[in-house]
Amino acid sequence: MIKSITLVNWKTHEDTTLDFQNGTNIIVGLMGAGKSSMMDAISFALFGTFPALEHRRYKVEDIIMNRPRKKDSASVKLEFALGDDLYVVSRGISRNKKSEAKIEKNGKYLQTQSERVTEEIEAILKINYEVFSRAIYAEQNRLDYFLELRKGERKKQIDEMLGLDRFALAEENATSLVNSLKAIIQENEKFVQNADISAMKSKLESLSKGLESEKKKAVLLNDSAKALREQLSALKQEYQKMREENEKRIALSKSMAEVESRLSTLKMQLSKISVPKGSLTELQESGKRLSSELESADKNIESAQEKVKRFISMRSSSEAQLTRCLSDMEKAKEIKKKIGGTDINSLKSEIDAKQNELKLSVAELADSRSRLAETKKWLDELNKHESKCPICERSLPEDLKKHLLEERNEIIKTITEEIKHKESQVNNSEKELKSLNVRLNELSALASNLSAYEGLDAKAEELKNKIKSINSDMEASESALKTLKPKRDELYKDLEKNRSDMDSIKRAESLKSEIVSSEAALKEKTMQISMLKITDKDIEAVRERYNEKNAEYAKASAEIAAIKESSSRLEVQISDVTKSIAQINAIEEKISATRKHSIEVSRFKNALVDTEAQLRERLVYSINELLEGLWLGLYPYGDYSAIALRAYSDDYALEASVQIEGEDTWLPVDGVSSGGERSIACLALRIAMSMVIVPNLKWLILDEPTHNLDAQGINKMIEVFSGSLPNIVEQIFVITHDEAMKQVHNARIYEFSRDKSSNSPTEINTG
């Protein structure tokens, strides 16, 4: 049961909430009042679409309220119950954002994504939008929708609604599969017929024998190559050993020549060294004494140089201070020049006098403005009263009143001139006072700066004396430095000679030691070279034997490679022939298996056809059973005793039972009935189909079902909606502009109204 719906900014509904009942719900109102849009909202809440939107007669933006005010978004919330569970589904759309959706079950969220929400509702209700739009929701003036369809399209859509289209699709797929399997069998049989399996087996035997012969040759050649490799390895080792001994002999000869040359050089260098008198120990003691004296002389010179540097730094600092002091003295002169003979105290007194003068002028100006305001007020009061004084309220003659007005106007003129003069005085005084204050601030700042330059003359004299003293001390230090440097240079020369003598003694001792060592090394190398007896001729003989064996090995390796290549080609040919034979065997097996599959699919196809026919027969029988009872309650006349849905090979037909020349005959409803009769017949068919297709969901939504009905037909429909139909359908929604439908017994009536001239929103009155 659909319990309620809430629409916000949905087409003409600004904020509408409707509570529905079980049984019949009648929505009444004139065209454009928002009736059908409410039914569209039910479809949109459940499936995210409705017929006009699905067929693109509407855009999503058209759903959002445009008049009397354009809204940015719209929403719908639907509450429905199924069994003991309560569901609430909400959807929102926006002009600028993606649509939103959510569904709750007993207060807990099930889904919050738009597509998932629709899938969830389809699972809950066990129907999709297509079934809902055809079996439950009859769009405006579309009750006879199935009668208006073309022959083939009607069968297709009714089969889709009844779920039979899946059998037709499966049958079509099965037929396509059988044809594909037959084509595969024919193609494979043609391939097998063209293949010569006997020739392939003969070729395979010949290739196998050739491969076996090549393998035997390869074994013999590999044994020969192995023996040659062993001989080559032994010769290579012998050749390597002889080369190493020969290289060692050559290296020793070269080393001996180098030692002899070095020995000759050492002896010549020793002969050129002039060894000084005295021992190395004596020279070392003398060197220590000279180093100590030189270090002391360096320290004295460094100390004297540091004093000179300090005096230079002190003089530079004092000279910089003196320069700044002289500069400040010039600045002080400039400040005194700017101050001139002006007395700050006199200037302050002048400012005080000017401020008092300004205060007096401001007070006089305020007094004049006050008198002007009072005079204008009195003049306004006099103008308001025709013949009385505004102060004492005594009677005023016209000539007196005129005299008073002229007098007051003259006073106002005088005061106005006086105010202008006073304002000029105030402005001039303010300017003069401002100028005096600026001068006072300048003089005060100059006086403050001048105080910072006091005592500069004494400081300058003090710095001059200090610089004179520093120059005297620096001259004394420079004189001492000139005396110390010649003594230090003499010590440095003596120390250098001491070091040179020590180096000569050490160099002579080192050369003597190296000469002894070189003579011993030369003797050792002479003994080693006498033990090596390998000649170049011996090495060449071994190399020639190695080359001969290597040529034999290369020939054997080439023959082995040729046999390998030949064997590889034979193996590829054998593999190709073997694969071809296996492929033909596999194809033959595949042909047999495919024939079995084709037979099984053909049987399945026949079973589908039989099942579809039986299921269609049962569904049509169930629909006609319901139509039999519905027709008696819906149709108000006796000319058509019954209606039934007939299933033919290529179409469905809704037929009515009529009497022609005393015999009952079945004829198509759309061929013999009027518009109203068609509507009643289609209503009965829609109810019956809905009960068969969706037995768990007994809802029915009818938009303008009285279209094309006469008064008697409408009365009969009122009777049906009041009595028999609510016993079959649990919840019915009827959208109508026909006021007569308000007479439906036990129905809840919703009257929709809207002032279209002002584009006002839909208003609802619930009866």
By the 10 Å C-beta count (0-12 exposed, 13-18 middle, 19+ buried), 33 is classed as buried
Q: Measured at the alpha carbon of residue 495, what is the angle toward residues 490 and 500, in degrees to the nearest 5? A: 130
**Is residue 703 within 8 Å of residue 735, measured between CB atoms?**
yes
pLDDT (0 to 100) of residue 103:
95
Q: Look at 20-34, 572-586, 666-680, 728-742 and tell me which has the smallest mean pLDDT.
A: 666-680
Q: Measured at the alpha carbon of residue 423, what is the angle toward residues 421 and 427, in degrees to the nearest 5? A: 120
pLDDT (0 to 100) of residue 389:
54
What would the mean pLDDT of 182-202 be, rounded to a whole number? 78
- DSSP alpha helix (H) spans, 149-196: 151-162, 165-194
| Neighbouring residues of 704: CB distance < 8 A, sequence distance ≥ 6 | 140, 141, 143, 735, 736, 737
Using the structure block, give the residue that is written with the tokens 């024939």.
Answer: 595
Helix or strand run (H / E) with residue 733: strand 731-736
Q: pLDDT exceeding 90 applies to what percent of the chain?
A: 12
pLDDT (0 to 100) of residue 385:
58
Q: What are the structural domain ranges in the chain?
A: 2-155+675-766, 293-503
Q: CA dist 571 to 206, 217, 229, 559, 567, Å?
A: 12, 16, 28, 18, 6
What would the mean pLDDT of 333-347 be, rounded to a whole number? 76
How many Å apart are CA 91 and CA 41, to the nearest integer? 10
The pLDDT tens digits of the residues spanning 356-413 come to: 888 888 888 888 888 888 888 878 877 775 555 555 555 567 777 788 788 888 888 9
The pLDDT tens digits of the residues spanning 79-93 come to: 999 989 999 999 999
Using the structure block, give the residue that is written with the tokens 């360096």.
Answer: 298
How many Å apart are CA 638 and CA 674, to the nearest integer? 14
- pTM attached to this predicted model: 0.46
Handedness of CA 660, 666, 670, 674 (dihedral sign): positive
pLDDT (0 to 100) of residue 642:
87
How many Å apart are CA 663 and CA 660, to the nearest integer? 5
Out of 107-116, 212-221, 471-480, 529-538, the most confident range is 107-116
How does residue 100 score in pLDDT terms, banded at 50, 70 and 90? very high
Give the chain's mean pLDDT.
83
pLDDT (0 to 100) of residue 367:
87
The pLDDT tens digits of the residues spanning 676-706 come to: 677 778 878 888 887 887 777 788 888 888 8
pLDDT (0 to 100) of residue 28:
94
Whether residue 143 has pLDDT greater than 60:
no
Helix or strand run (H / E) with residue 630: helix 536-634
The pLDDT tens digits of the residues spanning 651-669 come to: 888 888 887 777 878 888 8
The pLDDT tens digits of the residues spanning 59-78 come to: 888 899 988 888 999 999 99
The pLDDT tens digits of the residues spanning 587-611 come to: 778 888 888 888 888 888 888 888 8
293-503 belongs to which homologous superfamily?
Helix hairpin bin (1.10.287.510)
How does residue 46 score in pLDDT terms, banded at 50, 70 and 90? very high
**Is residue 5 within 8 Å of residue 79, measured between CB atoms?**
yes
pLDDT (0 to 100) of residue 3:
94
Q: CA dist 487 to 298, 604, 760, Å?
A: 10, 130, 122
How does residue 710 score in pLDDT terms, banded at 50, 70 and 90? confident
By the 10 Å C-beta count (0-12 exposed, 13-18 middle, 19+ buried), 161 is classed as buried
pLDDT (0 to 100) of residue 265:
86
Whether residue 450 has pLDDT greater than 80:
no
The pLDDT tens digits of the residues spanning 539-590 come to: 788 788 888 888 888 888 888 888 888 888 888 888 888 888 788 788 778 8
Whether residue 33 has pLDDT greater than 60:
yes
By the 10 Å C-beta count (0-12 exposed, 13-18 middle, 19+ buried), 707 is classed as middle
Q: CA dist 180 to 169, 185, 186, 593, 664, Å?
A: 16, 9, 10, 14, 50
Handedness of CA 454, 455, 461, 463 (dihedral sign): negative
CATH topology of domain 2-155+675-766: Rossmann fold (3.40.50)
